[in-house]
Amino acid sequence: MSYTKILLVLLACFASPNILFSQSDFEGLGETSFAINTDVNSVYKANFAVRSRYYLYQEDNFNFENRQLDFVHFSTLNLDYNHSVSLGVQYRIRESIDGGSNELRLTQQFNYTKKHQAIRFGHRVRFEQRILEDLTILRLRYRFALDFPLNGEKLDIGEAYIVGSMEALLSNSKNEKPELDHRTTTQFGWLISEKLKLQLGMEYRFEAFNLNTEQKLFLLTSAILKI
């Protein structure tokens, strides 16, 4: 399949929620992140990130309102060329921003990647423990992703690339029904230098679609620095 056809498939998957579902419970948000990646040695690498999330559209009105601030760390151990395991910790600040609950999140992750010509495929499984003020949520996540350069088979400085993914999530907590979520993401990126990438894209989420579906569209902007 050509890169053009793959891109069209990703865009169709992204657009399909608007066709299949109503917009009665719709919100538009933005998320801006800055991440630092470092390879400590040939088998261990670390990631640190700060993310800001804010409302852009809610209750049928456009408005800007801060929602939360996240501080994230992941440590990753490469088992071989294709397999890796990670441990993550995240702290979310909401109480002092919009009155929501602060959150401590612990993550265990297994990742498998494989490259075919210029296209890299990835399968990711995550187990999460979301510890809120009066509630603990256990969550299982599976994501399929692919990325490839838009020019040729190798990404060179100054060139663009695309990242697409689809993810399913299952959340469970005491005294509450299990919740199913789905996320579809498409992002365009640019390799600015050997150490800096910039990405811009969108993510469409169906939250609790087995209970009372809420739909959220995210505008994503990020910078990734390798040191």
Residue 68 has a pLDDT of 98
- pLDDT of res. 200: 98
Considering the entire predicted model, what is its pTM?
0.88
The residue ranges of every structural domain in the chain are: 3-26+94-226
**The pLDDT of residue 60:** 87
- The fold of 3-26+94-226 is Porin (2.40.160)
Are 90 and 105 in contact by the 8 Å Cβ rule? The answer is: yes
Bridge partners of residue 160, in order along the sequence: 190
pLDDT score for 23: 52
pLDDT of residue 171: 97
Per-residue model confidence (pLDDT) at position 153: 84
185 membership: H or E segment, kind and range: strand 176-191
Pairing relationship of beta strands 119-131 and 136-149 according to DSSP bridges: antiparallel
pLDDT along the chain (227 residues), means of 10: 49 46 75 97 96 94 95 97 97 95 98 94 98 96 97 91 98 93 97 97 95 94 97
DSSP per position, 6-47:
HHHHHHHHHHHHHHHS--TTEEEEEEEEEEEEEE-SSSEEEE
Residues forming beta bridges with residue 97, ordered by sequence position = none
- Strand pairing category for 26-39 and 119-131: unpaired
Burial class (CB in 10 A: 0-12, 13-18, 19+), 61: exposed
User: Which tokens go with 14?
Assistant: 């992204």
